[in-house]
Amino acid sequence: MDILKKKSFWLSFILLLLVSLFAKWLSGFPGLSLIGHLVIALIIGMVLQASGQLKGIAKGGSGFISNKFLRLGIILMGFRLNLEVLAQHGVKTITLAIVVIAFTIGLIYSLAKAAGIERKLSLLSASGCGICGAAAVLGLSPIIETDEDDEVISVAVVAILGTIFTLIMVLLRPVMGLTDVQFGVLAGGSLHEIAHAVAAGAAGGAASENIAVIVKLSRVLMLAPVSLIFSYIASRRSDGNSHAKIQWPWFMLGFIISSAIGTYAGLSEAIVGHLVDLAYILLGMAMAALGVNVNFKVVFEKGQKVFAVCFAGSVALFALVFVAAKMFF
């Protein structure tokens, strides 16, 4: 890795690290917590384009950071998943996660295809809405082989929609007729980012917040099998035959191993918390690197259709999970 020997890389590393840390700090403020660390880092990265000098420094290692740090961040994010806690809540939450993801990706991809949106962008934005927001976009983009502009569009759309639906859900809670647990299931099952699910779930009390996190993490767990499915599809499309070799996304194996270590190795909550914090710092650096390289013209041209399609899909997802919460929880 010759790039690690270059001064330009380390200057870029320091700048993007500072951006990620600043974004993490900002995400602790009321209101900004709904937007989240990763999206704030993306926005700051985009703002850096206004300064030719800072943009030049950031670009020195942005390609490496947006690629390698992204994968390492996804691996470390696995420590957030406690497999025993998920297992304790049985088949219902996992089944709901599978149904939600299959329904959302299938619907949004179909709507996007009908709207003339490119296949890769359609899959990426659908996955962000269906699985776990920006983390899903970052995790699946190397497999789908999308460009940086498509990643930025998908992250931005998912973040905006998640924030809108979080506010709507909290405002409508008194008239929904849901128990605290049912409201938590609705939050965890329909909202896009973990931060959104936590914020909405907390509005229903402790029981609501707890089940919201569990349901949401059940969706996060599905990131690994979905990545394998996408890898298989990508291999068949590129090789044009049913015997094509699957390009296994090895960083997803690391994600699963991290989940197992975090669950069974007896690590303290403090250590797991620090590892998850490190994961988000690395992902924040990757997001800032994406922001530095974004093509604003392309984003604005493509983004409007994607937003409309994902909004329609999110409304349908909300309705589906509302019915499921009322019937089964």
- Tens digits of residue pLDDT in 296-309: 777 788 889 999 99
> CB within 8 A of 325, min separation 6: which ones?
178, 182, 183, 185, 186, 189
Query: For the chain, which residues score pLDDT lower than 50?
Result: 242, 244
Phi, psi of 324 (to 5 degrees): -60, -40
pLDDT of residue 240: 55
Kindly state the greatest CA–CA separation across the chain.
Answer: 60
CA distance 31 to 258: 31
The pLDDT of residue 281: 93
Paired tokens of 203: 């509005």
What pLDDT was estimated at residue 87?
A: 79
Tokens of 262: 């975090």
pLDDT at 288: 87
Q: Is the dihedral of CA 100, 103, 106, 109 positive or negative?
A: negative
3-state secondary structure of 62: helix
pLDDT for residue 249: 64
Cα–Cα dist 156/102, whole Å: 22
Q: Please tell me the predicted confidence (pLDDT) of residue 204.
A: 86
Q: How many CA atoms lie within 13 A of 280 on its CB side?
A: 22
Q: What is the pLDDT of residue 64?
A: 82
Instruction: Report d(CA 155, CA 310) in Å as an integer.
Output: 12
Q: In whole angstroms, how far apart are CA 201 and each of 135, 187, 207, 257, 275?
A: 20, 6, 8, 28, 24
Q: In this predicted structure, what is the pLDDT of residue 163? A: 85
Structural Rg of the chain based on CA atoms: 19
Q: Which string of DSSP letters, residue by residue, matches 146-196? A: --HHHHHHHHHHHHHHHHHHHHHHHHHHHHH---HHHHHHHHHHH-SSHHH
Q: What is the pLDDT of residue 244?
A: 47
Q: Minimal CA–CA distance to 185: which of 81, 33, 324, 34?
A: 324
pLDDT recorded at residue 130: 93
